[in-house]
Structure 1
């Protein structure tokens, strides 16, 4: 299902994909950004996105977190910042509409991700937040969408995100995957919890 749906989606969305590639390139820098994430059984992979940040974004984040205690607290809790100074104007639009995640369909075709599953995390998130629930996360491929994305995304706590990931793994079924896929469309259109 993953390969068939991801392949069909890429073909259907090819004009949009090309348009976004050109727009991001004109915004400066590379169109794609690959970030190392942890996949099934602990395998590392480059999770692809359309670039939404300024060049040298890691250094900008480090400076912000060192200078702004409130931003550091928000980052520690959710790994998100509501007003992230690293994000470009185009990048903010891509994130709000989840269009920045379209290249993850390539990750699905490579077998690194699934259409539905827990959001892919970095090693620090896995170590810091998952604790005894680590095995649940590592049991499945991370997903382009999942329970967290359809349950409020960034408006939820990280503990809620972990609980939703575990619930997904425990209740896994083809029918639940289809329900999540169909719930993703209105969640994206409403921009629920997106920033």
Structure 2
């Protein structure tokens, strides 16, 4: 009952309320992004959704318009050269993710779930298949996000996504939600251009 119906109702109500309450923040960020660099305010990118169907995710644009498209940040040789001044702040505070409230309202995403993979992230998609993590809606945040985020290797991230699928419930969602607030405030696991950084540090 929770996974099939109640979760969607909660997602819709919270995202609608959030969009209304955060509208002043949206306006300020839109103006800053527009004044800071050339290009659109919003950035959309093709991602995997539930059952590996495609949708376009929305974010505030944090990189220059000449950044290579459809490439994960960690695959860029020097990602910092492409990130705008406003973008650095937005990424550090995770405010660049706010427009995904629109994706949640549309029913393409949930508040809590595995982060949606890029259409060309075959390694992550294949690994998530092992844990049925591609069978549910991707989320704005999730269990993997509060347990390492950019520092996690693909295998570990997929395993955590699988753990979420296995234990998905209202209480577990609340744990992820409040854990995300703590992680964002502490900037835990944010490594520009990095994935698997936790393992790399351990091997040094």
Normalised to the residue count of structure 2, the TM-score between the two structures is 0.81
Aligned equivalents of 1:150 and 1:132: distance in 2?
A: 19
Question: Where in structure 2 are the equivalents of 1:1-195 lying within 5 Å?
Answer: 1-27=10-36, 28-58=38-68, 75=75, 83-125=79-121, 127-131=122-126, 133-134=128-129, 136-194=132-190, 195=192
Inter-CA distance 144–82: structure 2 relative to 1 (3 Å threshold): farther
Q: Helix, strand or coil for the counterpart of 1:36?
A: strand
Aligned equivalents of 1:82 and 1:185: distance in 2?
A: 29
Aligned equivalents of 1:107 and 1:158: distance in 2?
A: 24
What are the ranges of 5 or more consecutive residues in structure 1 without an aligned counterpart?
Answer: 63-70
Q: Deviations over 1:124-172 (max 9, x none)?
A: 21x2234353261221100000011111211221221111111111111
Inter-CA distance 123–19: structure 2 relative to 1 (3 Å threshold): same
Aligned equivalents of 1:12 and 1:177: distance in 2?
A: 22
CA-based RMSD? 2.1
Q: Helix, strand or coil for the counterpart of 1:138?
A: coil
Q: Deviations over 1:30-56 (max 9, x none)?
A: 100000001002221110000000012
Q: CA deviation at 1:81?
A: 7.4
More helix by share: 1
What are the ranges of 5 or more consecutive residues in structure 2 without an aligned counterpart?
Answer: 1-9, 193-204
Q: Helix, strand or coil for the counterpart of 2:80?
A: coil
Q: Helix, strand or coil for the counterpart of 1:37?
A: strand
Q: Once superposed, which parts of structure 1, at least 4 consecutive aligned residues long, lie more than 4 Å away?
A: 80-83
Aligned equivalents of 2:77 and 2:160: distance in 1?
A: 21
Larger deviation, residues 101-110 vs 135-144? 135-144
Contact kept? 2:127, 2:158, Cα under 8 Å: no
Contact kept? 2:11, 2:104, Cα under 8 Å: yes
Normalised to the residue count of structure 1, the TM-score between the two structures is 0.85
Q: Helix, strand or coil for the counterpart of 1:111?
A: coil
